[in-house]
Structure 1
Amino acid sequence: MSDSEYGVFTEEGCIEASLWSHANAEAVAELYREQAAEDDVEETYTVHEMCEEHRDAERPKGECDECEAQYND
């Protein structure tokens, strides 16, 4: 198991987290892509490493609003 947590994201935000390998997260994202294709829905699913410090925020590492506020005041 990796020390990094990964999540699957759409433009709306995180839709699935607590994935502990990049490969696992990509596999889950692919399932979402396949379902979207079956449903004829245009949606983009991407995988990002999660912010370790603010897990509840469900934001990608490097794009966490809470980190931005905390460290850039």
Structure 2
Amino acid sequence: MKKNVRKQGILLPISSIPSAYGIGTFGKESYRFVDFLEKSGNHLWQILPLGSTGYGDSPYQSFSTFAGNP
């Protein structure tokens, strides 16, 4: 049994994925990004919380516990 197995990944907000809408979506370009992650040896894709921002416009202080459902 292996202990302390490390994995690498990338932090990329959904809004940074290019799309026809001017802001990222979970559409075709997101799938292409996941394919790129696999080919480059990355195992993780970390995104920022999804939801309306709260005090100080921080994505970590959302108005709702249920992301996207204030």
TM exceeds 0.5?
A: no
Between Structure 1 and Structure 2, which shows a larger proportion of strand residues? Answer: 1
Q: TM-score, normalised by structure 1?
A: 0.35
Q: Which has the larger radius of gyration?
A: 2
Between Structure 1 and Structure 2, which shows a larger proportion of helix residues? Answer: 1
Answer 1 or 2: higher relative contact order, Cα 8 Å, separation at least 6.
Answer: 1
Q: TM-score, normalised by structure 2?
A: 0.35
